[in-house]
Each structure stands twice: as C-alpha cells, then as structure tokens.
Structure 1
Amino acid sequence: MKRIVIFASGSGTNAENLIKFFHNREIASVIHVLTNNPHAKVLERAKKLHVSALSFNKIAFTETDIVLDILKSAKPDLIVLAGFLWKFPESLLEAFPKKVINIHPALLPKYGGKGMYGMRVHEAVVSNKETETGISVHYVNEHYDEGAIIFQAKCDVKSSDSAEDVAEKIHKLEMEHFPKVVEELLHV
C-alpha cells in the first residue's frame, strides 16, 4: 500500500477529503498530516479520522532536519500540499524528487506566487473581471506555484459572482478532482 503525507495550514477540507477518499482503498492511505499552524482545524479533522497529525514551527521546517527526518521515517510515496502556505525547502524537495505536489485555487500561471492563496486569489479573479478560473495541481519546485502542471479544471465566473461565489465553485472542483488526481499519480 502506498503512503501519503499531507501538509496543510488551515481548516483542512482538502486533507479531510483525501483521507476519506483513500480510507478503504487498497492503493494508498494517508499516514500523516503535518501543519505549520498549531491551531489549524486540520489537526482536529485528522484526529477525528484517526490519522497521525502534528504541528511544527519554522525552525523545525527550515533550519533543522526535524521535518525531513519525520518524512524519511514515513517513507511517503507522495507528499501532498493541501492549503499549505509556506514555501517548501529545497532540502525536502531534493530528498523527495517528483513526490511533492500542490493544489492551487486558480489556473496557473495566473494568480500564483507568494501571498496568492485562498480568498486573495478569488478577490483578484473577481476584481480583474475574469470570465473563468479553476484549480491547478502541480509539482512543487523551489518557487511558489511554478512547478510543472499536472492537472487543471475550469469553471465559469459570472459578472455577478462575488469572491465568495468563486470560492464555492473552486471548493467543488477541489472536492471532485483532487483525490482522483492524487490516485492517478500513485498508479504511475
């Protein structure tokens, strides 16, 4: 059985969706949820679903091998960033080449980069009067949101849509597509 580790920073709806999706599947399971936010709701969600979860600070992530050692002992087949807001250190990317992916709430390369996450993305989409947006699943590299795109799904943006309306459409796309994309990557 393949092993998935999820990194998240916030509420963890994508993490919960992935955990539930792989719960009774033979191909893989989510073995750990890691977060940089000790108050993140994702910790509570993981606990309820009986998945190991822990938080770490910036020093453990970027200045020591603590997180790297956790990952090495976990032996993940895939590391999934699901609403994780910190830039992934090169040392982790080098240790797990082509094994770290991210989901972004826009059609990259538009609306990507440092500081472009969550409602900030949706507000930018609406203020720029975009007619479509979507999600992008991509490999993580040393730059924010610049890794090779694996998958994109689109939705329309109406002129009457608020940022909240766009967020709801994006959430539906994430819930529908993200677990399937992860599963496909595990078959490779």
Structure 2
Amino acid sequence: MKEKIKIAVLVSGGGTNLQALIDYEKNTENCPYQIEIVIADTKKAYALERAQNAGIKTKIVSPFAVLGEQKAKNVSKEEKRIAVSDAALNAAKESGCDAIVLAGWLTVLSGKIIQEYSGKIVNLHPALLPKFGGVGMWGHNVHEAVLAAGEKESGCTVHLVDSGCDTGKILVQKKVPVMPGDTPETLYARIAPQEHKAMVEGVCQLAKMLSK
C-alpha cells in the first residue's frame, strides 16, 4: 500500500477548501495525501498565497500565461480550455501527482487530462448533485437556482470527474437546510463549513481507492 498519494489541487479563487486540505494534512498524523502543487487558472487567486504560505509550489496556467496575451485574445473558448487543461496536466505530471483535486476550479477541463487521470480527479460542487449541476452552475448561480426552485435542503457534493459536467460518481454529500428568508449569501455561509469537511473526506476516499 502506498504511503500517501501525491495530489495537485486546482484553484480559481479564495482557496478556503484548499486551506481545509492544507490544515488536515498538517494536523493529521496518518493523512493519506500530500499536496504536491497548487495550480491556478488566474494569477488573482488568493489560493496561491495560501499555498505559498504553506510552502507548497504553485503554477499559474491562465490562458494569458499559457498562450500569451495576443493569442489568448483571438482563440475560441474551447481552445482556451484545452490549453489551460493541457498546461495543468503537464504541471501535475511533472510534479509526480497521482491524482487531481478541483477545489473551486472554474475552467471546465477538456482534452487529455480527463483520460490520463481517469478515475483520479475529484471535484467539489456547491449543491446536492445530480440536482443543480451542469454548465453555468457554479458559485452563487447554484445557490440562486436552489432558492428559486423552493428547495427545502441544499449542501455540497464531492464527485469523480468524467467527460461530462458534474456527472461523475458521487463520493461524499453534506446536507444543510434551506431556511425561510435565505439569500444566496446566507445559504452559502451555511454550506461553506460543510464543503471543507466534504473536500477532506472526498480526497481521503480517493486516496483509499487509489491505494488498493
């Protein structure tokens, strides 16, 4: 059995779920994973600072960084996705990563990365899949949709990534009630602590699956 799996964590924003993974690794004697690299699709992601503070190497794979400013302005959305995905794949492979964790990563992965890391990529989604998944369903869009639909509960899901959008096998779900008068902000505030727990549990499950 492998000691620990090496993971690449892909981020786009503040990195609170990355921080949960960093804290768990630091404070847990038998943590089954090791964060090898943090990869961001924007240089503005505060998650990069969190990684640097923890002594973890980082890589920026924004369309501008990968393609150059001029070319990035003139290619299609799909070409940008593939360029960013390929750059993330190369960074993960160069770092010897066994698995990839999407922790608030907003670029839809395309191309070779899905095949090369098949069954080894997990994503955190801020709703109870299969409801409220798919294209455009991220961040506050999800919470707005949940409230508009009059749902009685929401939560978050950690799932394996396949070639679809939010369609892979579910590993962990955490539920919270939707309260009368909730706004997207208040609902998110209730879900966020559960996301941090689900993220750690999901990555530990993945480690267990890959260590068999």
What is the TM-score with the length of structure 1 in the denominator? 0.92
Q: 2:83 aligns with which of 60, 63, 71?
A: 63
Consecutive unaligned residues of structure 1, counting only runs of 5 or more, are none
After alignment, is 6-15 or 136-145 more displaced?
136-145
Determine the structure 1 residue equivalent to 2:21: 18
Determine the structure 1 residue equivalent to 2:125: 104
After alignment, is 100-109 or 110-119 more displaced?
110-119
Check conservation: 1:5, 1:79, Cα contact below 8 A: yes
Check conservation: 1:131, 1:159, Cα contact below 8 A: no
Determine the structure 1 residue equivalent to 2:50: 45
Check conservation: 1:129, 1:159, Cα contact below 8 A: no
Consecutive unaligned residues of structure 2, counting only runs of 5 or more, are 67-80
Separation (CA, whole Å) in 2 of partners of 1:178 and 1:47: 20
- Cα distance change on mapping 1:164 and 1:63 into 2, 3 Å: closer
Pair 1:161-2:166 in alignment:
no
Determine the structure 2 residue equivalent to 1:28: 33
Letter in 2 for 1:84: W
Check conservation: 1:37, 1:56, Cα contact below 8 A: yes
Instruction: From the CA coordinates, give the structure whose radius of gyration is larger.
Output: 2
Determine the structure 2 residue equivalent to 1:5: 8
SS at match of 2:106: coil
- Cα distance change on mapping 1:120 and 1:52 into 2, 3 Å: same
What is the TM-score with the length of structure 2 in the denominator? 0.82
Separation (CA, whole Å) in 2 of partners of 1:154 and 1:63: 35
1:16 positional shift: 1.2
1:178 positional shift: 1.7
Cα deviations by residue, 1:105-162 (Å, 9 ceiling, x for unpaired): 0011111111111111111111221100111111111221111212211111012222
SS at match of 1:155: strand
Separation (CA, whole Å) in 1 of partners of 2:33 and 2:179: 38
Q: 2:153 aligns with which of 120, 129, 132?
A: 132
Check conservation: 2:120, 2:206, Cα contact below 8 A: no
Aligned-pair identity in percent equals 33
SS at match of 2:10: strand
